[in-house]
């Protein structure tokens, strides 16, 4: 099974992804947690280029191709072999992030985004996508607090430095995708505290996966 987590900056995805692993492991799933960009040695190098605030001059098409390069390696080296082996893969961001950030927010052509995805991923789609949704101002202020407290690395702030309107487009893009694919998406109110969000995730996964 393939489960992804998505959301704007500061939505708590990374913390909640760890919770999803704990929850599913306690129900007998053999889980592997991974992330995009990153997840492989090559991917982590691509991640460093993508998120470096010094990469300000990056052309949107370069950005799109680098995210796809990262994903091509990730699917080939990690996700596909794990799924073939019967493992449950929990991934902190995947293709929906490309549609939303490079499509809705940067304005790149959805046809190009889609064709690139078909080339690298064939028909690999998450079974369930948890969308952690919250108002953009709250998410961004949480993200900056974590960066200032040193909980998140200060060399990965290129996207946090984008305008509020960029992040509004990201949030509304995710909500549009969730409406289009209501079967796959589970929208969780991430403005609540960590424990309440966990409770909501447990409720929705228990129903969807028939966990007891
Ligand atoms: P994160 O580890 O905090 O989620 O950071 C990854 C950043 O990369 C985040 O700002 C979203 C962005 N991103 C894209 O723009 N496109 C993508 O395809 C992915 C996976 C992430």
Mutational test site, ligand 1, from 101, 132, 140, max ligand atoms within 8 Å of CB: 101
| Alpha-carbon gap, residue 193 to 201, rounded angstroms | 12
Domain count, the chain: 1
Pocket lined around ligand 1, Cβ cut-off 6 Å:
9, 36-37, 51, 67, 93, 97-98, 101-102, 159
Which phi and psi angles does 53 have, rounded to 5°?
-60, -20
CA of 198 from ligand 1 middle (Å) equals 22
Ligand 1 centroid to residue 6 C-alpha, Å: 9
- The whole-angstrom separation of Cα 66 and Cα 73 is 11
137 located within any domain: yes
Distance 14 CA to ligand 1 centre (A): 12
Residue 152: inside a domain, yes or no?
yes
pLDDT confidence tier of residue 127, bands split at 50, 70 and 90? very high
Mode of pairing for the β-strands spanning 88-92 and 31-35: parallel
Q: Per residue in 53-72, pLDDT tens?
A: 999 899 999 999 999 999 99
Q: Is residue 199 part of a domain?
A: yes
> What confidence score (pLDDT) does residue 162 get?
92
Domain that holds residue 104: 2-207
Domain assignment of residue 212, yes or no: no
205 Rama sector, left if φ>0, alpha if ψ -120 to 50, beta otherwise: alpha
Atom of ligand 1 nearest to the CA of 101: 15
In a domain, 19, yes or no: yes
pTM > 0.85: yes
Is 91 within the bounds of a domain? yes
Cα(97) to ligand 1 centroid in Å equals 6
Average the pLDDT over 158-164 and give the result: 91
**What pLDDT was estimated at residue 131?**
98
Average pLDDT over the chain, rounded to an integer: 95
20, part of any domain: yes
Residue 32 has a pLDDT of 98
Q: Give the percent of the chain with pLDDT over 70.
A: 99
Task: Report CA(36)–ligand 1 centroid distance (Å).
Answer: 7
Pocket test for ligand 1, best of 13, 17, 67, 97 (most atoms within 8 A of CB): 97
What average pLDDT does the segment 71-100 reach? 98
User: In terms of DSSP bridges, do strands 128-133 and 88-92 run parallel, antiparallel, or are they unpaired?
Assistant: unpaired
The region, left, alpha or beta by phi > 0 then psi within -120 to 50, assigned to residue 10 is left
Provide the pLDDT for residue 154.
Answer: 67
CATH of the domain at 30: 3.40.50.300
7 is a domain residue? yes
126-151 average pLDDT score: 94
Distance of CA 67 from the midpoint of ligand 1 (Å): 8
Rounded to whole angstroms, what are the CA distances from 190 to 139, 179, 196, 200, 208? 9, 17, 9, 9, 19
The answer to whether residue 12 scores a pLDDT higher than 90 is: yes
**Residue closest by Cα to atom 18 of ligand 1:** 98
Least confident of 6-15, 127-136, 147-156: 147-156
Query: Which of left, alpha, beta for 161 (phi over 0: left; psi -120 to 50: alpha)?
Result: alpha
What's the 93 CA to ligand 1 centre distance in angstroms? 7
> Which of 12, 37, 69 to mutate for ligand 1's pocket (most ligand atoms within 8 Å of CB)?
37
pLDDT band at 212 (very low <50, low <70, confident <90, very high): low
């Amino acid at each position: 099974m393939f489960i992804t987590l998505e959301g704007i900056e500061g939505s708590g995805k990374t913390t909640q992804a760890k919770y999803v692993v704990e929850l599913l492991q306690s129900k007998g799933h053999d889980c592997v947690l991974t992330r995009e960009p990153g997840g492989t040695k090559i991917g982590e190098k691509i991640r460093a280029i993508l998120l470096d605030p010094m990469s300000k001059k990056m052309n949107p098409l370069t950005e799109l191709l680098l995210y796809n390069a990262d994903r091509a390696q990730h699917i080939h080296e990690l996700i596909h072999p794990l799924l073939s082996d019967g493992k449950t893969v929990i991934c902190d961001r995947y293709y929906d992030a490309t549609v939303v950030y490079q499509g809705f927010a940067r304005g790149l052509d959805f046809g190009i985004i889609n064709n690139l995805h078909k080339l690298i991923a064939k028909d690999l789609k998450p079974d369930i996508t948890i969308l952690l949704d919250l108002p953009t101002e709250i998410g961004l202020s949480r993200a900056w607090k974590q960066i200032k407290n040193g909980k998140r690395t200060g060399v990965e702030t290129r996207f946090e430095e984008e305008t509020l309107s960029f992040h509004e487009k990201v949030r509304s893009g995710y909500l549009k995708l969730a409406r289009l694919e209501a079967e796959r998406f589970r929208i969780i109110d991430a403005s609540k505290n960590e424990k309440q969000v966990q409770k909501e995730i447990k409720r929705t996964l228990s129903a969807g996966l028939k966990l007891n």
